[in-house]
Structure 1
Amino acid sequence: MAGSLPELPFSATKRKYERYTEDDKVLQEKLTKEIDESKKTLKPKLSYDAEYFHQIAERSDLELKRLNLVRKKSRQDFLHNSGLDADWENSEKASKLNEEKETLTLRRKLFKDQADQRRIEAGNTSKTMRGYFIQLYTSSARGLGISPTIAAMGQRDTSVQDNFRKALIKACRSESDVKGLKNHLWCPVIGGYVPKENARAAHIFPYASGQEAMTSIFGDGGDDKMFDTRNGLILSMWAEKKISDGEIVIVPLVSDNASKEETAKWAASDPKEYKVRIVKMSPDDRDQMLPVFRMKKTWGELDGAKVQFKSDHRPRARYLYWQYCQTTLRQSWLGKNQNRPRALQSEFKKPFWGTAGSYMKRSMLLAFVEEMGHQYESLLDGAVEDVDANSGHQEVDCTALAVANEAIADSLRRGELRAEMEKEENDEEDEEDDEEYDEDAEYYRRWGKNVLD
C-alpha cells in the first residue's frame, strides 16, 4: 500500500519494531494534558515537604512516558524514509532524544531521593533541603513552569548583561584593530574575528542556575561572582553553541601523556594556557569551514589547538572544570546508549583534563562519579577535601550534578527552539521565493559557512 512503512530485514535490527499507533497518539495527548495540569497545580511553598518533591518526581515520570512516545513516532518517521534501524540509532535526532531521556531520568531520581530524605529527616531543613535545590527548579518557567514566591535570579537585567559584555571585551581585548574589521570581536576558541552581532558574552557557569547554586558549588562566599569577568569569555555564537551542546570542551594545554612535572608546571603558570578538544562531532561538521574572515580552517582542525587569548585575562580554572564535568556527564550518556565506554580520554587513555587541582568539593564530584560509574573516578583529581566535621564521613552532595543536568536540559531546549525557528524561516523564504540580500548571510557564505548553520 502506498505510503506504508517498509518491512525491515532481520539484519536491520535485533529488536522488535514497535509502530506508533493511534492509541499512542491519544496517550501522548493525555500525558501532555496531565503535565500541563501538574504545572498549574504545583506551587512553591514556604515549607517544602516530601509530598512536594514526590509530585515533581511524578511529573518527571509523566514527561519520560511522553518522551518514549515521541521517540517511537520519530523513529517510525525515520524508518519510513530509510528503513534502517542502525541509521536511526546513530542519528542526531536519536542522540538528542536519548540525552533528553537521561536528563529527565536523573531529575526524577534527584527529586525522589529528596522526597525520601525529607521523610526520614522531617523538619530538619538545614540538612535535607538547600536553597539551591528550591531555586534551581522554581526560579523560571523553563524549569518547573511555576511562578516563584521565593527570591531567585529572575529575568536577567539587560543593563547588567551589557556591563558584563563591555567588561569582558575590555578584559579580553576582543575589539579588532584590523583594517576593515572594526566592528568585529575576537573569538579565542576559533582563533579569529567575527562580527559583533555574532559574538556572545558567554557565562561559563550558567546565569540561569543562580548565584546561590554557584556559591554552594564553589564556596566563593557571599559576593556576586556570576557577572565576574572570570566567569565568562567573548565567544562567537558558533563556538558558544558547540560548547553548550557538549561538542567541544576547553582543557589545560598539556600533553595527552603529560608527566607530573609538566602538569605541576601548568598548575604554577600564570596566565594559564588552554586547548580545545573535540568531544563529539559528526564527520560533516568536522569538515565544515570555520566562520572566520579569510581563514581556511575546519572545525576538525581545532582539536588540540591552543585557545588563542589576546590578553592575560583567563576564566577561573574551577569554572572551566565544572563545564568539563558537565560535558563528561553528557558524554557518559552517549556511551550508555551506544553500549560502549565514552569517557573523555585521549588516545593514551588519559582524561582530557590532564591536571590535578582544587576545583570543586569532593562531595560534589563523588555525585558525578556515582552517577556515571567508576571509570570516571579521574574527576576526583580535581577535588577539594570536605569531609563532614560532625560524622567524619565523606558525604555525597548532588548540587553540582543537579545544576549540570539542568544546564544540559536547557541546551537541548534551546536546540529545539533554534531548529523550529530555522524551519519557520526556511518555510517563509520558500513561500516568498525572493532574492532579498542578507549582508550577514552573504558574508559567511563567502567563507564557506552559512550563517544559519
Structure 2
Amino acid sequence: MWAQTEEARQLFEQLRAQQCRVTSFRKQAEAPKPERRSLGASFINLFISSPMGLGIRTGMEPRDSRFQSQFRMKLLEDYEVVKNGKIWCPIMQDWFPPSTMTAAHLFSYKHGQASMDAIFGQIRPAELFSSRNGLMICSAVEEYFDAGVITIVPDLPERPTMAMLSYWLGQETRDFKIRVIDSSWSCLDMKIIQESSPTKWRDLDNRRLYFRGRYHPAARYLYFHYCLQVLRRAWRVGPGQRAAFELYDELGKPLWGTPGRYMARNMLRAFVEELGHEYEPLMQGGTLLDRGDSRLLLETAAAQIGLGKEEESESEEEEEDDIL
C-alpha cells in the first residue's frame, strides 16, 4: 500500500509541516503589530528563511563552515571520544573512522540563538554551538536520528520510585538510552552498518548511551529532540491512520519518565494541542510560567521537519582537513 511506504510517509510529514507553518503565519499576520521587536520576530525569521516558507536567506544563522568545524572540535574535546585516530559513538558503543562520524546538533543551529533563548530561556554563555547541544554519532545512525524512528530518553529502572527519580534529576551526569518509537518502520530488522556490525536497528531499543567521559548533553535539548521525534512520528501517518506507538513503555511508564522545566509551558501546550490530548504527558517538561509566543516551539519543530534531510546535510558541511 503506497500510503505506508517511506516515500509517502515523508510526503505526509512535509505536508503537515507546511500546513502548520501557513496557519501560524496567518495568525501572526492577523495579530496586532507590536510596537517593538518581540519574540514574534523569531517566528518571522523562521518562516521567511525556511524552504517551506519563503526560502529567503536572512543571515539569522552562521553559514560559515568554520562554525560547524569548531562545534565538532568542541564535541571531540569535551566528550573525550578520540583514541588511536578513531572516534567513539555512544549509541553504537564502538570506535569509527573520523570520516564516518557526524557532529549532530540536538537543537538545529538554523533556528538561531534568539529562538533557542525564547524556548529554553536565556542561558549564558549561549549554547547554540555548545557541546551541551550536540553529540558525536556514527553517520549511519545520524541519517535516521531525526526521522521520527528513534529517540533518546532517561535511563531509569523499571517502576522507579520518587526517590529514584529525584536521584536521577540530581545527578550532574545523567544516564540516557535509545527507544525505537516507530514499530512499523520497514528497516527495523536491517543492519545499521552493513559491512562491519551485526547490530540491527531493532537492537537499539533500550540500549544505554555509553559516554567515555563525564560530559553529557543537556537534558533540555534531548527533551526538545524527543518532542520533535514524537511530532514527526505523528505527522508521518496518512489521512485516517494512527501513529503505531504510544508515549508509554510496556509497563505503562512514560518513555520520558522524569519531570523537568525544559521549555516554556505555553509553548508546550500549543505543541500538545497540535498533536492531541493523548500527548498530554509531554507537558511534564514545561516550565511553571508562560513565556513568549506560544506557537514558537511548534513552529520551530515544523521548520526543522520542513527543512528536509538534503538541505540539513548541506548546511552542516564540515572542513575536516585540520580536525578529526
TM-score normalised by length of structure 2:
0.87
SS of residue in 1 equivalent to 2:152: strand
Q: Percent identity?
A: 31
1:219 offset after TM fit, Å?
Answer: 1.1
Alignment-mate amino acid for residue 263 of structure 2: M
- Residue range with higher mean Cα deviation, 330-339 or 206-215: 330-339
- State how far apart, in whole Å, the 2-side matches of 1:280 and 1:188 are: 21
1:351 offset after TM fit, Å?
Answer: 2.3
RMSD of aligned alpha carbons? 2.6
Is 1:362 matched with 2:265?
yes
SS of residue in 2 equivalent to 1:244: coil
Deviation by residue 1:66-115 (Cα, 9 ceiling, x = unmatched)? xxxxxxxxxxxxxxxxxxxxx11211111111111111111111111112
- Residue range with higher mean Cα deviation, 307-316 or 252-261: 252-261
Greater than 4 Å deviation, 4+ residue runs: 140-143, 281-284, 412-417
1:134 offset after TM fit, Å?
Answer: 2.3
1:280 offset after TM fit, Å?
Answer: 1.5
Counterpart position of 2:82: 175
Which has the higher relative contact order, 1 or 2, with Cα contacts under 8 A spaced 6 or more apart?
2
Q: Do the aligned partners of 1:141 and 1:147 also contact (CA within 8 Å) in 2?
A: no
Alignment-mate amino acid for residue 305 of structure 2: I
Counterpart position of 2:27: 113
Counterpart position of 2:221: 319
Is 1:347 matched with 2:250?
yes
Alignment-mate amino acid for residue 108 of structure 2: P
- The verdict on how the C-alpha distance between 1:353 and 1:284 changes in structure 2, with shifts beyond 3 A counting, is same
- State how far apart, in whole Å, the 1-side matches of 2:202 and 2:101 are: 21
Q: Do the aligned partners of 2:9 and 2:237 also contact (CA within 8 Å) in 1?
A: no
Counterpart position of 1:43: none
Q: Do the aligned partners of 1:217 and 1:400 also contact (CA within 8 Å) in 2?
A: yes
Alignment-mate amino acid for residue 266 of structure 2: S
Is 1:93 matched with 2:4?
no
Counterpart position of 2:307: 410
Q: How many residue pairs were aligned?
A: 313
1:268 offset after TM fit, Å?
Answer: 1.4
TM-score normalised by length of structure 1:
0.64
1:375 offset after TM fit, Å?
Answer: 0.9
Q: For 1:392-407, list aligned pairs within 5 A.
A: 397-407=294-304
Larger Rg: 1
- State how far apart, in whole Å, the 2-side matches of 1:387 and 1:406 are: 22
- State how far apart, in whole Å, the 1-side matches of 2:47 and 2:312 are: 20
Q: Do the aligned partners of 1:328 and 1:343 also contact (CA within 8 Å) in 2?
A: no
Alignment-mate amino acid for residue 265 of structure 1: Y
Deviation by residue 1:361-416 (Cα, 9 ceiling, x = unmatched)? 1111111111111111111111111147xxxxxx8611111111111112355599
- State how far apart, in whole Å, the 2-side matches of 1:140 and 1:113 are: 17
SS of residue in 1 equivalent to 2:82: coil
Q: Do the aligned partners of 1:194 and 1:293 also contact (CA within 8 Å) in 2?
A: no
1:138 offset after TM fit, Å?
Answer: 2.9
Q: Do the aligned partners of 1:218 and 1:360 also contact (CA within 8 Å) in 2?
A: yes
Counterpart position of 2:111: 209
Q: For 1:37-436, list aligned pairs within 5 A.
A: 87-117=1-31, 121-125=32-36, 130-139=40-49, 143-148=53-58, 152-155=60-63, 157-177=64-84, 182=85, 184-221=86-123, 223-255=125-157, 257-280=159-182, 284-291=186-193, 295-334=197-236, 337=239, 339-340=241-242, 342-387=245-290, 397-412=294-309, 414=311
Q: Do the aligned partners of 2:247 and 2:254 also contact (CA within 8 Å) in 1?
A: yes
- State how far apart, in whole Å, the 2-side matches of 1:210 and 1:204 are: 13
- State how far apart, in whole Å, the 2-side matches of 1:351 and 1:335 are: 22
5+ residue gaps, structure 2: 315-324
